[in-house]
Amino acid sequence: MSTRAIQTAVVGVGGYAGMELARLLLHHPQLNGAPPVFAGRGTSAAEASGGAPGSAVPLSTIHPRLMDNNGSAGLLVEPFSWKLFKSRGVEVLFLATPHEQSREWVPEALARGIRVIDLSGAWRLNESANRAVYKFEDEGKQSTDAVQAKSVYGMPELHRDDIRGAELIANPGCYATSIILALKPLVAKGWVDLQRGIVCDSKSGVSGAGKAPTAKTHFMYAADNLSAYGVFGHRHTGELLEQLELQPEQIVFTPHLLPIPRGILSTIYVWFKEAMDADRIKSCFDNFYAASPMVRVFSAGNLPQIQYSAYTNFCDIGFQLAKDGKRCVLVSCLDNLLKGAAGQAVQNLNLMYGWNEAEGLV
Amino acid sequence: MSTRAIQTAVVGVGGYAGMELARLLLHHPQLNGAPPVFAGRGTSAAEASGGAPGSAVPLSTIHPRLMDNNGSAGLLVEPFSWKLFKSRGVEVLFLATPHEQSREWVPEALARGIRVIDLSGAWRLNESANRAVYKFEDEGKQSTDAVQAKSVYGMPELHRDDIRGAELIANPGCYATSIILALKPLVAKGWVDLQRGIVCDSKSGVSGAGKAPTAKTHFMYAADNLSAYGVFGHRHTGELLEQLELQPEQIVFTPHLLPIPRGILSTIYVWFKEAMDADRIKSCFDNFYAASPMVRVFSAGNLPQIQYSAYTNFCDIGFQLAKDGKRCVLVSCLDNLLKGAAGQAVQNLNLMYGWNEAEGLV
Amino acid sequence: MSTRAIQTAVVGVGGYAGMELARLLLHHPQLNGAPPVFAGRGTSAAEASGGAPGSAVPLSTIHPRLMDNNGSAGLLVEPFSWKLFKSRGVEVLFLATPHEQSREWVPEALARGIRVIDLSGAWRLNESANRAVYKFEDEGKQSTDAVQAKSVYGMPELHRDDIRGAELIANPGCYATSIILALKPLVAKGWVDLQRGIVCDSKSGVSGAGKAPTAKTHFMYAADNLSAYGVFGHRHTGELLEQLELQPEQIVFTPHLLPIPRGILSTIYVWFKEAMDADRIKSCFDNFYAASPMVRVFSAGNLPQIQYSAYTNFCDIGFQLAKDGKRCVLVSCLDNLLKGAAGQAVQNLNLMYGWNEAEGLV
Amino acid sequence: MSTRAIQTAVVGVGGYAGMELARLLLHHPQLNGAPPVFAGRGTSAAEASGGAPGSAVPLSTIHPRLMDNNGSAGLLVEPFSWKLFKSRGVEVLFLATPHEQSREWVPEALARGIRVIDLSGAWRLNESANRAVYKFEDEGKQSTDAVQAKSVYGMPELHRDDIRGAELIANPGCYATSIILALKPLVAKGWVDLQRGIVCDSKSGVSGAGKAPTAKTHFMYAADNLSAYGVFGHRHTGELLEQLELQPEQIVFTPHLLPIPRGILSTIYVWFKEAMDADRIKSCFDNFYAASPMVRVFSAGNLPQIQYSAYTNFCDIGFQLAKDGKRCVLVSCLDNLLKGAAGQAVQNLNLMYGWNEAEGLV
């Protein structure tokens, strides 16, 4: 079959999302026989793992848990170079890199005819006002705008058709995925009283904060603790505004750092314009996600928990309606490294190559 | 000094709040020389610890961490009996018991001239509508109403004067303490737009769920997880309504179970009627808590975390105001077993006997 | 292909090992199209999940994380009955049940021509002295001995050939697996000084303690804690003695309860009879496990950690040798629910039906 | 009373042990009215907290949990300088600093007539062979040897009398404290068969690894994990050898990193020369620690757990003897930041000034 011919590459494989990408792609039924090309973030692959610059490092040295896994023993993580990708015939590139690097490398990749699935925030936002928080150096350039125009927000449940033919996928933010999937069906119906505002109180495991050792990723900071951060200023806010078509004053989003390795739970508070009943809400979700294998809608009053979707690619959505029919609490859960990052990226890959959307994900 | 003459007793010492009460009272400077009388919840002290009924059990068997602590080696937990309390001259009784038991025992204690600090929800609510969730069997009786009329809601920062002379203290709920202390100063000023509603998203460590082994207190349920529960129906809601003088539709309160032993963080969302500035809010808090040693007000934009107040009796309050001056996120933290239970109970004891409010607590 | 014809069943699917069995078998490439029959532990399937007795319960109600996973939406957990298994043509039965139930059900299953993979300790031990700790009621019966004689200790790395043709697999204990795999190659060589004794200090996540809510599985007991238990009396000790051919006084085994959901790390201390070098030890392990895809041998001085093998079916083995060449520390890690239970059970299934030993496991 | 005149200082207050020292000294009954002088590790106090160099920083900025605690609001952490200590009349100096700094500063302090309690490993070891692992630059100098000769190993249970008059206290290592206290009574009796060797398998919470953010203190490294480290090479080994008077080949010590904030549990395996009974062992411990308020000896077969002694200054010791009377498992627990560091340091302070040994510690 021709599927064997598709050569993927993962840049930034040393991080947590990179590790999950490696694991998923190494076991992907449609990629069997063609392991991804793995590259580090810098010109040296070894930088991510503290090794000497300039040379390749075994994948199992960087991620011992991937050792001998499905024949990965001999796999190497190599220094980033376009020459490497060309020599291996890379057709599609996953970037699990900081947004500055994605900003720099995506135009080059597209120019070389390589399709890109970018896991950073570099190409997710259409409005320059929303991008301001990233302080991109190339903001306002015509060539940049041309790349942004090609970018498809890689949330299959909302943009399935556009994803199929995309050259560039901007893989959504983890928080944004959990919130948008919970709100979109209701907001699209026009049921939510936007004048009263929507509150999104999200909680994420520590892997969301990245692999760099910092004061805030220290075990002693995170363990036995909970802390809010990025109040009124988190970068994922722009994704909420654009995908849900909201004004800034209509939503408040507060992320928190949970003392667990992985998983996000978003508790979302909406007021309906008029009194609703639970069946109507449930039907709305069921219809909206009827063709979406990676969203699980819970019955009314039955709320998802982080551990139901951890280590899966599902986004779980539940809700509870007050007796007045107007106040509603939505709860949305996903694994920030899978549906919130690497899993959703592979879901996008599946769509891009015409495979089953859930292939290699369940 | 006459302070030695005050004999306390703790009923329900086998639970988590009971253990903290024991620890605090055994080290309390004003009680030196008179250890509390410790009693179990049932007619048998041993019930709490799985021992044989009817006989006393060493405190250190039930709580090994209290062993030899300040001379506790010889201390016993005895079966509950009024005779016991009378023979020891108990003057003030701490009830760390289920609300059904507190409901039964408080009238008897008051009749015997014993002052009571009740840690359960039995006597916190003045409105019968708010009490409905407890399904008290004695609801509506005249004698019950008479006891309720004597009950003082034991939040020193709001009811300091009433506490001093109280016969019966209804020690506040842990969630309620964290939310009321954060909201009261602002709501009392009339600044909050109640028409838009207040959202209280609270997260608590597992000790708040009690010592009974259940499916939901199993390590495998709570660890690496987060779950919402009691949505639109948690028992502490009535305390919020009464102490903040709100209508039910003006507030939504969602508790969550955090994978940590102790600590509560409440993230509270308010909209102000008119645009505010941070200094005005900070001053409001500073003034309100000027005479309250157990509340720590953080500077604007500097948010408390659970671990700052864990293992202390402080309630920490911080806030962040949006640029529009209208949307405001409040964060409130406390240790659910201390300021949320045993610590606040001792704070009330201090007021009842004219001691320094923070005595034995820092 | 004839593989579709193999009908499996899982009894005790409500527990943790049962859940992992369900997950593995639902995704097993060789079982595609024939989901297992799922049964509860009692005559009522619902017992495990607190439902009403006597009727079937959706698998996703008992294990929400398995919802819609690979078409499991319509799957039910049914009350245990031989009639059920017969009507569905069950050929091989996984028992994830307490040892008393396995003791009762295995003879019946064999009599009915059903092959059994028993995850309990019921049939692991050949010596009656070693079985004494289980206090089996049928001990000493001739019919029982006949069943025991058929039992094969289901550790593929040691008994691969016997497993292939077995009617009854006694799936090894989780602690025993981690210790035996680390020690067997060295003990078999006769290098270890048994006169000095072997020390096995093992630590396990809480899932090993089972799903029943008890004082010891309470979050507050396990979290932020570590405790030793079962010293000189743990049931897995007999497996160590029999599989390693040791005398009781030659080994000390102490299990500990770790504050994590899953994973075992065993630190094992041996003294060699004569000074060794690291290469010789490494070669010994490499040779012993050359044909074993589920054991990963680490290079000298490079020790495995729990998180490398958690959520996998690998057993990771590493060692560090003292400069004197005589004192050696072995470290062995595995996931107690996978290589220590459900994963090893599926590994045995693979051997029993002539499939690739690692099929459906990586 | 003259106790008010004693001025303490804490250097390195920004770390975890420093924070506990600050907390303990601020509440110490004998120091009431004279808060310690707090200094950073470098010439700039701010270095520990990321602030600007050269200026003082509020203690509550570095440790928010100490905010307003017992009047600490106005307390500052100042740059390290001898001038500072002189101007404040510092009489006793706590060094919670890396061993290199302690090595440099202790001689100067002693020369200035300041008594020192050093929490590092700089002055704990008498034998140069044991010190080799530290690679001290001043090793072999006569002046260094003179300082070492003055150093008293600050374990009150073993060296109470020497501590009282000491100029320099080398506060013991956390692992070493847990192991030495468990073994000393038995080894001193000559009961232990040293020819068979002693195995010490220790597990510590992450605070023992220090506050610097590193790959190994990252939450994602430690959480849901367990790992052995420093096998055959941990720095505390020399303390075991010297205090227990053992030869290197008679003991194996393996530390592990536990996924908890604080606490150490050491599981220690000994073989007795002849069969013992449990009463004899229990009496041995009871007698040895009869005058030691900070050691709690458990009854035979009743083993301590980490959470019993966490947040206390106790070292808990228990044991279980095999039926053969020869194999014995000892379990020893303590809080690595208290009895393993700051608490033991204050215990030493108490002895140095003739106060009750447990003053300010329970």
DSSP letter at C125 equals -
pLDDT of residue C50 exceeding 50: no
D120: nearest Cα among D23, D210, D19:
D210
Q: Which of residues 11-70 of C touch B (CB under 8 A)?
A: 16, 50
Cite the DSSP H helix spans in chain C. Answer: 16-26, 59-62, 82-88, 99-111, 128-131, 142-150, 156-164, 174-189, 219-222, 237-244, 278-288, 306-309, 343-352
Confidence (pLDDT) at A41: 77
Number of A–C residue contacts, CB under 8 Å: 36
- Please give the mean pLDDT across all residues of chain C: 93
Residue D72: pLDDT band by 50, 70, 90 thresholds? Answer: low
Q: Show the CA angle centred on residue D247, arms to residues D242 and D249, nearest 5°.
A: 135
Residues D314, B27: C-beta atoms closer than 8 Å? no
Residue B342: pLDDT band by 50, 70, 90 thresholds? Answer: very high
D40: nearest Cα among D68, D14, D70, D67:
D14
Confidence (pLDDT) at B135: 94
The Cα of D216 is separated from the nearest Cα of chain A by a number of Å equal to 9
Q: Distance between terminal CA atoms of chain A?
A: 22
Highest averaged pLDDT of the listed ranges A31-35, B181-185, D71-75, D142-146: B181-185
- Residue among B199, B305, B327 minimizing CB distance to A226: B305
Q: CB neighbours of B180 closer than 8 A, spacing ≥ 6?
A: B155, B158, B172, B239, B240, B243, B244
Residues C322, D232: C-beta atoms closer than 8 Å? yes
Residues D326, C226: C-beta atoms closer than 8 Å? no
- Residue among D50, D217, D260 minimizing CB distance to A218: D217
Average pLDDT over residues D310-319: 97
A214 vs D contacts (CB less than 8 Å): 213
Residues D312, B64: C-beta atoms closer than 8 Å? no
* Residue count (chain B): 362
Residue D70: pLDDT band by 50, 70, 90 thresholds? Answer: low
Confidence (pLDDT) at B32: 76
* Residue count (chain D): 362
Cite the DSSP H helix spans in A10-89. Answer: 16-26, 59-62, 82-87
The 3-state DSSP class for residue D92 equals strand
* Tokens 């009314």 -> residue: A300
CA–CA separation, A202 vs D131, rounded Å? 50
CA–CA separation, D300 vs D318, rounded Å? 7
Residue-wise pLDDT for C215-244, tens only, equals 999 999 999 999 999 999 999 999 999 999
Confidence (pLDDT) at D1: 41
pLDDT of residue C2 exceeding 60: no
Residue C39 tokens read as 């049964």
- Residue among A201, A261, A327 minimizing CB distance to B201: A201
Residues D225, C323: C-beta atoms closer than 8 Å? no
On whether any CB of chain B is under 8 Å from the CB of D318, the answer is no
The 3-state DSSP class for residue C60 equals helix
Q: CB neighbours of A40 closer than 8 A, spacing ≥ 6?
A: A11, A12, A13, A14, A46, A47, A48, A49, A57, A77, A78, A79, A80
Phi, psi of D143 (to 5 degrees): -65, -35
DSSP character string of C261-308:
SS-EEEEEEEEBSS---HHHHHHHHHHHTTT-TTEEEPPTT----HHH
B117: nearest Cα among B99, B101, B93:
B93
> What domains lie within chain C, and their CATH numbers?
2-172+341-352 (3.40.50.720), 174-336 (3.30.360.10)
On whether any CB of chain D is under 8 Å from the CB of B144, the answer is no
Who wins on pLDDT, B50 or B245?
A: B245
**D318-348 burial, b if ≥16 CB within 10 A, otherwise e?**
bbbbbeeebbbbbbbbbbbbbbbbbbbbbbb
Q: CB neighbours of C284 closer than 8 A, spacing ≥ 6?
A: C185, C186, C189, C191
Q: Show the CA angle centred on residue B207, arms to residues B204 and B213, nearest 5°.
A: 125
Cα pseudo-dihedral C228, C233, C235, C238, rounded to 10: 120
Average pLDDT over residues A88-117: 97
- Residue among A196, A260, A324 minimizing CB distance to B224: A260
C-beta of residue C136 within 8 angstroms of C-beta of residue C189? no
DSSP letter at C222 equals H
Residue C120 tokens read as 């309990």
| Other Cβ atoms within 10 Å of C358 Cβ, number | 18
ipTM rounded to 2 decimals: 0.95
Average pLDDT over residues B88-103: 96
Rounded to two decimals, what is the model's pTM?
Answer: 0.96
Average pLDDT over residues B175-195: 98
Residue-wise pLDDT for D107-165, tens only, equals 999 999 999 999 999 999 999 999 999 999 999 999 999 999 999 999 999 999 999 99
Residues A226, B320: C-beta atoms closer than 8 Å? no
- Which of B133, B206, B218, B226 is the best mutation test for A, with the most CBs of A within 10 A? B226
Instruction: Find how far residue D252's CA is from the centre of its chain.
Output: 21
Confidence (pLDDT) at C32: 76
CA–CA separation, A203 vs B234, rounded Å? 21
Chains that touch A (3 or more CB pairs under 8 A): B, C, D
- Please give the mean pLDDT across all residues of chain D: 93
Q: Which residues on neighbouring strands pair with residue B254, listed in sequence order?
A: B201
C18: nearest Cα among C87, C68, C74, C66:
C66
Q: Show the CA angle centred on residue A267, arms to residues A264 and A269, nearest 5°.
A: 155
pLDDT of residue A52 exceeding 50: no
- Residue among A70, A293, A304 minimizing CB distance to C362: A70
pLDDT of residue A71 exceeding 80: no
A308 vs C contacts (CB less than 8 Å): 64-65, 67
Number of C–D residue contacts, CB under 8 Å: 125
Confidence (pLDDT) at B74: 83
- Which of D19, D218, D258 is the best mutation test for A, with the most CBs of A within 10 A? D218
C-beta of residue D92 within 8 angstroms of C-beta of residue D115? yes
Phi, psi of A302 (to 5 degrees): -110, 105
CA–CA separation, A78 vs A84, rounded Å? 8
Query: What DSSP element (H or E) covers A105?
Result: helix A99-111
Strands of B227-228's sheet in order across = B227-228, B251-257, B198-204, B264-271, B327-334, B315-321, B295-297
pLDDT of residue D167 exceeding 60: yes
Query: What DSSP element (H or E) covers D198?
Result: strand D198-204
C102: nearest Cα among C199, C213, C15:
C15
CA–CA separation, D87 vs D78, rounded Å? 13
pLDDT of residue A141 exceeding 60: yes
Confidence (pLDDT) at D155: 98
Residues A261, D219: C-beta atoms closer than 8 Å? yes
Residue C73: pLDDT band by 50, 70, 90 thresholds? Answer: low
Q: Are strands C8-11 and C198-204 parallel, antiparallel or unpaired?
A: unpaired
Amino acid at C83: K
D147: nearest Cα among D122, D130, D180:
D122
The fraction of chain B above a pLDDT of 70, given in percent, is: 94
Q: Helix B343-352 crosses helix B156-164 at what angle (to 10 degrees)?
A: 40
* Tokens 């227990």 -> residue: D244
On whether any CB of chain C is under 8 Å from the CB of A314, the answer is yes
Residues B218, C220: C-beta atoms closer than 8 Å? no
pLDDT of residue D266 exceeding 80: yes
D58: nearest Cα among D118, D14, D97:
D14
**Range of weakest confidence among C114-118, C301-305, D25-29:** D25-29
B194: nearest Cα among B126, B253, B269:
B269
Cα pseudo-dihedral C134, C136, C142, C146, rounded to 10: -50
The fraction of chain D above a pLDDT of 70, given in percent, is: 94
Residue B212: pLDDT band by 50, 70, 90 thresholds? Answer: very high
Confidence (pLDDT) at A54: 65
Three-state SS for chain B is CHHHHCCEEEECCCCHHHHHHHHHHHCCHHHCCCCCEEECCCCCHHHHHCCCCCCCEEHHHHCHHHCCCCCCCCCEEECCCHHHHHHCCCCEEEECCCHHHHHHHHHHHHHCCCEEEECCCCCCCCCHHHHHHHCCCCCCCHHHHHHHHHEEECCHHHHHHHHHCCCEEECCCHHHHHHHHHHHHHHHCCCECCCCCEEEEEEECHHHHCCCCCCCCEHHHHCCCCEECCCCCCCCHHHHHHHHCCCHHHEEEEEEECCCCCCEEEEEEEEECCCCCHHHHHHHHHHHCCCCCCEEECCCCCCCCHHHHCCCCCEEEEEEECCCCCEEEEEEEECCCHHHHHHHHHHHHHHHCCCCCCCCCC
Confidence (pLDDT) at D73: 66
C-beta of residue D216 within 8 angstroms of C-beta of residue A253? no
Residues C225, D249: C-beta atoms closer than 8 Å? no
* Residue count (chain A): 362
Instruction: Find how far residue C208's CA is from the centre of its chain.
Output: 10
Q: Helix B174-188 crosses helix B237-244 at what angle (to 10 degrees)?
A: 20
Residue-wise pLDDT for B65-74, tens only, equals 998 765 566 8
On whether any CB of chain D is under 8 Å from the CB of C76, the answer is no
Amino acid at A143: S
pLDDT of residue D53 exceeding 70: no
CA–CA separation, D164 vs D174, rounded Å? 21
Who wins on pLDDT, C4 or A86?
A: A86
Confidence (pLDDT) at B5: 74
